[in-house]
Amino acid sequence: MESTPPFKEEAPVSLAVVVHAAGDLRLDPAEPGKLGPRDALVAVEYGGICGSDLHYVKHGAAGLSILREPMVLGHEVAGRIAGLGSEVTGFEVGQAVTIHPATVCGECEFCTSGRPNLCESVRYLGSAAYHPHTEGAFAGLSVIPARQLRAVPDGVSTRLAAVAEPLGVAIHAVNRAGSVAGKTVLVNGAGPIGVLVVAAARKAGAARVVASDLAAGSLDVARRMGAHDVVNLAEGGELPATDVVFEASGAPPAVTSVLRAVKRGGIVVQVGNLPAGKLEVSLAELVFREIDYRGTFRFVDEISTALEYLADGLDVEPILTHEFPVEEAAEAFRVAGDRSTGSSKVLLKF
């Protein structure tokens, strides 16, 4: 196993990707914080830029989470343990890990009933939902509670393990539909999460998976991730009738479209984040065609299943379209936020 220098008493300093306000992204020196007895110091090697990271940089907010102070971004990361607290067992310095970004209360009705992703006091890495904000992990060194570490299996690189978090989101979304084995599936929206839903649905035994989008480049990635067929909506393509639809675009007009496209008695899972506030959506189809419309939010512990999928050979290389050193974070965010660049998942290398 590759070794890394152990944690020393003096506080090390590394570069962190910090959003100060809308349009103000900086690389700031940052100390990882004090290593507690149940913590681990992680030397981050790769981080994937998420849509929420982009929203903080562009709008100063992600949904209802409003940026009120500078915050380190990032929750899709993998690296190696550089130091361990005195009470941590089961891990060793130099071990490759990824991170479950959520900290939950462990006591509420959701935490005790197997749905901790709905915990009302959940804190997520790189989130402005609370004040003070929860710092993210886009830093060369991050102190993380050891309970949030997930060991990366042998044969899986930290580069690929950085995809475990969004893959976990996709797996949870597929699980929300119930069994898709033998069913026909439509994934509307072929961004990074959408194409990972394609892969997760295939892995779950879907008989046929179709992806739809407005961008030809995104549809190419979807096909390489396992879509049997694709529909280019910009060229007049029509949504097929399927048993299950995963609406991953987050565009309000798409909700009406997929409710009309899904078969009678079908299931629609809303994966893409919809804008806050009032939306113009036709819901009549829900009633007279008896459609189940379900939400999905992050994941429980499907990040562990994602690591198993990666170890089993699931190829996520098609979504890794760009990689930048952390010193070029501003350009990485520009590319990630501009679909005309052909970007899907953009990685930062620390």
Q: What's the whole-model pTM score?
A: 0.93
Query: Hey, what domains does the chain have and what are their CATH numbers?
Result: 14-163+316-349 (3.90.180.10), 170-295 (3.40.50.720)
Please report which confidence band the pLDDT of residue 3 belongs to, taking 50, 70 and 90 as the band edges. Answer: very low
Please report which confidence band the pLDDT of residue 33 belongs to, taking 50, 70 and 90 as the band edges. Answer: confident
Mean pLDDT value of segment 335-350? 95
56 CB contacts (<8 Å, ≥6 apart)?
Answer: 19, 62, 67, 71, 73, 126, 128
pLDDT of residue 245: 98
Position 215, amino acid:
A
User: What percentage of the chain exceeds 90 in pLDDT?
Assistant: 91
pLDDT for residue 13 is more than 80: no
**Least confidently predicted of 5-14, 19-28, 40-49, 212-221:** 5-14
Mean pLDDT value of segment 196-215? 98
pLDDT of residue 64: 85
pLDDT of residue 288: 92
pLDDT of residue 9: 44
Q: Are 98 and 78 in contact (CB under 8 A)?
A: yes
Mean pLDDT value of segment 189-207? 98
Q: Which residues pair with 41 in a beta bridge?
A: 83, 143
Mean pLDDT (the chain) is 95
pLDDT for residue 187 is more than 70: yes
pLDDT of residue 1: 41
Mean pLDDT value of segment 281-290? 92
pLDDT of residue 277: 82
Mean pLDDT value of segment 102-107? 96
Q: Are 226 and 247 in contact (CB under 8 A)?
A: no
Q: Give the burial class of 214: count Cβ atoms within 10 A of its Cβ; 0-12 exposed, 13-18 middle, 19 or more buried.
A: middle
pLDDT for residue 4 is more than 80: no
Q: Which residues pair with 20 in a beta bridge?
A: none
pLDDT of residue 175: 98
Please report which confidence band the pLDDT of residue 6 belongs to, taking 50, 70 and 90 as the band edges. Answer: very low
Residue keyed to tokens 């984040």: 273
* CA-based nearest residue to 262, from 347, 167, 324, 177: 177
Helix, strand, coil share (%) of the chain residues, nearest 5: 30, 30, 45
* CA-based nearest residue to 350, from 335, 333, 334, 328: 328
Please report which confidence band the pLDDT of residue 2 belongs to, taking 50, 70 and 90 as the band edges. Answer: very low
pLDDT of residue 331: 98
Tokens representing 23 are 């349009």
Q: For residue 94, how many C-alpha atoms fall within 13 Å in the half-sphere facing its CB?
A: 5
Q: How far apart are CA 259 and CA 264, in angstroms?
A: 10
Please report which confidence band the pLDDT of residue 182 belongs to, taking 50, 70 and 90 as the band edges. Answer: very high
pLDDT for 158-178, tens place per residue? 999 999 999 999 999 999 999
pLDDT for 121-137, tens place per residue? 999 999 999 999 999 99
pLDDT for 305-324, tens place per residue? 999 999 999 999 999 999 99
Q: Give the burial class of 264: count Cβ atoms within 10 A of its Cβ; 0-12 exposed, 13-18 middle, 19 or more buried.
A: exposed
Cα–Cα separations (whole angstroms), residue 293 to 186, 201, 270: 14, 18, 7
